[in-house]
Chain A
Amino acid sequence: MREVAIIGVGMNKWGELWEKSLRQVFTEAALLALDDAGVDKIDSMIVGCMSSGLFIGQEHLSSLLADYTGLAPVPAARVESACASGGLALRTGWIEVASGLSDVVLVGGVEKMTDVNGNEATFALGTAADQEYECYHGITFPGLYALMARAHMEKYGTTREQLAMVAVKNHANGSLNPLAQYPFKVSVEAVLSSVMVADPLRILDCSPITDGAAALVLCPVELARKLKKPVVKIIASGMATDSIALSSRKEITWIESTYLAAKKAYAMAGKKPEDINLVEVHDCFTIAEICVIEALGLVEKGKGGQAVESGLTALQGKIPVNTSGGLKAKGHPVGATGVAQAIEITKQLRGDAGPRQVKGARVGMTQNMGGSGGSSIVHIFERG
């Protein structure tokens, strides 16, 4: 397999982009990535998108977006793994370059979520859960993660305040990210007094509904060096699946798919958790970040809440988590999230992250997750 590098990144400000359509949002990010890479021709294109069909009534995205970015007739594929669609797009693009099938691949992720109302968006997102065994009984994602949160609190003594501190940390990071949907700080008190969504989770524990896109250009490391681009290597890609129904898991506080995806990625990269300088994780809810940093082996099982409280995962901490602001503050256009995580790590490893730069960052990791952990995709990156 060939070594693969990221040579271009593209992303515009995320938010409630009512004046733009999906194709416009995507095209802007794709063109920024192509400009950043300095290439005007690609061999193939992969798009991650969870549910354009339910959100805007449009499928056949791969061809639509190849056309509107002016890249047709390149081969293009749209991949889907719920909220991990972006991570899967990156993994698919990586496989294509690593295998030698293509040299330059555009990897993009996109979701346009605000063209429907809140109930319709909740329904669309709910399709990432098990329709027969979960949704049928009326539960939605905030409810599923609330069950995980309650169980984590009971089992490990994780506190309501510790959950809030995840949001506080990620908003503090997000306040330094001009592309974030909500680039402002929040306090623990604000989280604890925000609107109740699904006990114990309140609105400020939840990632928002977001329109946005993100794009990357991948190529072999050899070619990247010839193009004289700053090289960020993808040194591992791990993926694992699990039951998409929470009720089928052995432990609802443990995300096995993330654990297994990380295990494969660490082995492929020849790295251990302590070798990682910073991580972008899938904090769709505050409890998710706590469970995920445990499954990634960054902290002991059950200690995720304490880790946040102690400042371990803060921007200046030992292992900064979600320097971009995470899904919580940056926003969560589901199909774009996994790609945007890789953009943050690329910027950090290039030393381009501005006021939120982690000093001396050499190795970074992303963890992108579908549903309540039915799929997880972990990538490890290294400055080349």
Chain B
Amino acid sequence: MEGIIGYGASIPRNRIKVEEIAKVWGADAPSYKKGLLVEEKSVPSPDQDTITMSVEATKNALKRAGIDPREIGAVYIGSESHPYAVKPSGTVLAEAIGATPEVHTSDFEFACKAGTEGMFVAYGLVKAGLIKYGLGVGADTSQGAPGDALEYTAAAGAAAYLFGREKVIAEVLETYSYTTDTPDFWRREYQYYPQHGGRFTGDPAYFKHITGAARGIMAKAGLKPADFQYVIFHQPNGKFPLRAGEILGFARKQIEPGWLVNKLGNTYSGSSPLGLTATLDISKPGDMVLIVSYGSGAGSDGFVLRVTDRINEVRDLAPKTRELLEKNRNYLEYGTYAKFRHKIRKAD
């Protein structure tokens, strides 16, 4: 059965704490920490971007899959921070991992769900028998305007998934997508930072689509919350995925292994995919896992996965997500962070 044959993560080592951002804007750090359930977030270095993190995450996925990259038939990166407006990110990734030239490549964009979109299509092509292996990556160096509530969470990270038919780590038992036209968050061309609808991003946007997709995929698969060991929801802040879990009837222990946001921030297209890499790191054979992404605009993709015996063979072949999150951290002051994130601009 088709499924995930390799997975890998990439998280920058730089961090900035909520207190450090709040200090600059005269904001009340405890209120933000309590309101968002976020303590710190990752920050990309000046040389890190969606492409470099995608390469690192994919190399980790390849270590676990142990396949010849030349047999990868599709390379998809989902991101809302592709370094170029015109020129694909995927071609650089495909070249860097040695998958060119016989490969289909495309960049996806759908706010925070672009990563699972790439996964969805890569998996679909494998299942259709058009390609042997497919790669879907979710990566972002997400943008939050200085002083905006988003600045406390907009983080960087990537997760890569290789799909195939043999040596499967986690079988894909079901997929589902739930989409409407809901303008809760957007960034127009030539704008540096996104705008959002404030509280509108909650009930009619995130919760409607997450719960719609979760209920839809469980109905389609004939499963209920208790049938899963683990569940991952998109994590724009700490509270939203926990509340989504409560609404749907999942226990905190099902959510927590993949709940990284309090120390990582919101890695946008990388958010739920990184939750899944962290969850696979601790999964046992036979475990059932549900992942539901969310992208503003708006839509959710869901996957029902069943972990196989092979997880025990590949788990330790590449860095684990929690290790990347917890080790070797470098805390930045706001000034350095502002420089790294290109928030300081010289006049032409």
Contacts and interface: CB of A to CB of B under 8 A. Distances in A.
B204 interface: yes
Contact of B203 (A16, A117, A118, A195): A16
Contacts of B346: none
A196 interface: yes
B28 interface: yes
Interface string A337-362: 00000000000000000000000000
B199 A16 contact: yes
17 contacts: A16-B199, A16-B200, A16-B203, A18-B200, A18-B204, A19-B204, A114-B199, A114-B200, A117-B197, A117-B198, A118-B198, A194-B31, A195-B28, A195-B31, A195-B35, A196-B28, A196-B31
Interface string A90-122: 000000000000000000000000100110000
A195 B203 CA distance: 21
Interface of A: 16, 18-19, 114, 117-118, 194-196
Interface residues of B, number: 9
A104 B200 CA distance: 39
Contacts of A16: 199-200, 203
A51 B222 CA distance: 50
A18 B35 CA distance: 23
Nearest to A202: B31
Contacts of A117: 197-198
Contacts of A118: 198
Nearest to A208: B199
A94 to B, nearest CB: 36
A371 to B, nearest CB: 24
Nearest to B184: A18
B203 to A, nearest CB: 7
A330 to B, nearest CB: 18
A333 to B, nearest CB: 15
A19 B180 CA distance: 13
A18 B204 CA distance: 8
Nearest to B32: A195
Interface in B177-198: 197-198
A77 B314 CA distance: 74
Contacts of B198: 117-118
Contacts of A114: 199-200
A60 to B, nearest CB: 27
A196 B199 CA distance: 18
A18 B197 CA distance: 11
Contacts of A194: 31
Contacts of B204: 18-19
A16 B204 CA distance: 10
A360 to B, nearest CB: 40
A164 B31 CA distance: 18
A195 B197 CA distance: 20
Nearest to A121: B198
A194 B31 CA distance: 7
3 closest A-B pairs (Cβ-Cβ)?
A195-B31, A18-B204, A196-B28
